[in-house]
């Protein structure tokens, strides 16, 4: 398969008053065409920052190093003009908080049509039709009525789908979806899965899904990367990862699902400001040994597709 996006040694850190926050450390990742890749991990582990780094959507105090090659071109070295041609047209981003992402003073229809018009050269009438089609694909029963409403008249799940419509309007080759199922019930979640699948099949678009919903990730993704404290701790295809997790963090995460017994993983993630020099999961790990206390593990290749960052398997 052809590589669409290649992330090489990506580090993102923020300068804050309390010190340097290392949100993403040395991440390597390849995304191929038509691939659906899931990024899972705890809140504050750098998932969203990684997603935003790809489009350089971060605030000014962020410092991104490494390489992000999109169709052979480094995004980090692009000028503003070049970036504008990529954002929305080639890489689209569906952001996390639907309540804040929509303009409360504009009707939904106007907002969707605006993004359609920016991405495709169409007349106003055609724009309206395209927008209604998009809303139809996204499972709204009355798209015309939705177009005439304001965002505050919709529920959280509906706003999420309006945002998705805006993201898809440019038919991008890579879609980054940050928590697309947050606040959706089982039926809507199923629809989102079907919709993303259909979208990748028809347009050949690759999708990077950032989520903490393990069930959703297991239902939709081909490949999964697990992040912990800014690092990727395990990658592999979905089946192997969920049936045979290797990293203690992923094991604990799977066990803490309500349907798997609600076993609590105690403790919190280590601070991203002063990162420990040993294994970052050491404090919470039930398999920790003396070696883990002194050494920082590297990403270990177990087999071709499955890689894990744990000293247990050295």
Partner 1 sequence: MFEVRNLSKVYNSGVIHKASLKAVDDVTFSVDRGETVGIIGESGCGKTSLAKMVLKLLNSSSGSMYLNGEDVSSIRGEKLKSYRRKVQIIFQNPESSINPHMKIYDCIAEVLRINKLASRKSEDEKALINQLISMVGLQQEHLNRYSWELSGGQIQRVALSRVLALKPELLVADEPTSMLDVSVQAQVLTLLRSMQREQGFAMLFISHDLDVVRVMCDRVVVMFMGKIVESGTVDQVFSHPCHNYTKSLLEEYECLR
Residues that bind partner 1 (CB under 8 A): 41-44, 153-158, 182-190, 212-216, 219, 252-253, 256-259, 262-266, 268-269
Output the smallest distance, CB 98 to partner 1, in A. 11
Element (H, E) at 31: strand 19-32
CB pairs under 8 A, 24+ apart, for 139-146? Answer: 139/188, 139/191, 139/195, 146/108, 146/109
Q: Which is nearer to partner 1, 66 or 183 (CB)?
A: 183
Q: Which is nearer to partner 1, 90 or 190 (CB)?
A: 190
- Are the C-beta atoms of residues 170 and 89 closer than 8 Å to each other? yes
Q: Which is nearer to partner 1, 75 or 214 (CB)?
A: 214
Output the smallest distance, CB 212 to partner 1, in A. 4
Secondary structure (3-state) at 11:
strand
- Are the C-beta atoms of residues 125 and 56 closer than 8 Å to each other? no
Q: Which is nearer to partner 1, 61 or 257 (CB)?
A: 257
Output the smallest distance, CB 48 to partner 1, in A. 12
Output the smallest distance, CB 298 to partner 1, in A. 24
d(CA 25, CA 46): 9
Output the smallest distance, CB 77 to partner 1, in A. 33
Q: Count Cβ atoms within 10 A of the Cβ of residue 110 and give its class: 0-12 exposed, 13-18 middle, 19 or more buried.
A: middle
Torsion angle, alpha carbons of 136, 137, 140, 146, to 10 = -60
- Are the C-beta atoms of residues 25 and 89 closer than 8 Å to each other? no
Output the smallest distance, CB 65 to partner 1, in A. 26
Calculate ∠ Cα 133-137-139, nearest 5°.
Answer: 120
Q: Which is nearer to partner 1, 165 or 174 (CB)?
A: 165
d(CA 150, CA 171): 25
Q: Which is nearer to partner 1, 145 or 305 (CB)?
A: 145
Output the smallest distance, CB 158 to partner 1, in A. 6
Q: Which is nearer to partner 1, 203 or 256 (CB)?
A: 256
- Are the C-beta atoms of residues 192 and 198 closer than 8 Å to each other? no
């Amino acid at each position: 398969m052809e590589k669409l996006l290649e992330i090489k040694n990506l580090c993102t850190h923020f300068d804050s008053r309390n010190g340097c926050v290392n949100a993403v450390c040395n991440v390597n990742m390849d995304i191929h065409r038509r691939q659906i890749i899931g990024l899972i991990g705890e809140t504050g582990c750098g998932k969203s920052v990684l997603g935003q780094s790809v489009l350089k959507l971060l605030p000014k105090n962020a410092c991104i190093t490494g390489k992000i090659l999109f169709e052979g071109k480094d995004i980090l070295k692009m000028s503003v003009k070049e970036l504008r041609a990529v954002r929305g047209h080639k890489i689209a981003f569906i952001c996390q908080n639907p309540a804040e992402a929509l303009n409360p003073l504009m009707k939904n229809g106007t907002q969707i049509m605006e993004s359609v018009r920016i991405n495709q050269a169409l007349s106003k009438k055609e724009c309206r039709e395209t927008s209604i089609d998009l809303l139809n694909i996204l499972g709204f029963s009355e798209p015309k009525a939705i177009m005439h409403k304001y965002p505050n008249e919709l529920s959280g799940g509906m706003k999420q789908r309006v945002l998705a419509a805006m993201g898809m309007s440019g038919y991008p080759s890579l879609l980054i979806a940050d928590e697309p199922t947050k606040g959706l019930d089982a039926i809507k979640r199923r629809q989102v899965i079907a919709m993303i699948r259909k979208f990748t099949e028809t347009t050949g678009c690759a999708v990077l899904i950032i989520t903490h919903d393990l069930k959703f990730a297991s239902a939709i993704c081909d490949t999964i990367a697990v992040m912990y404290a800014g690092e990727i701790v395990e990658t592999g295809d979905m089946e192997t990862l969920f049936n045979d997790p290797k990293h203690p963090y992923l094991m604990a995460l799977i066990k803490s699902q309500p349907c798997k017994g609600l076993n609590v993983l105690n403790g919190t993630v280590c601070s991203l400001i002063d990162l420990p020099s040993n294994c970052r999961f050491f404090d919470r790990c039930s398999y920790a040994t003396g070696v883990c206390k002194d050494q920082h593990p590297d990403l270990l290749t177990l087999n071709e597709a499955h890689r894990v960052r744990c000293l247990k398997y050295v």
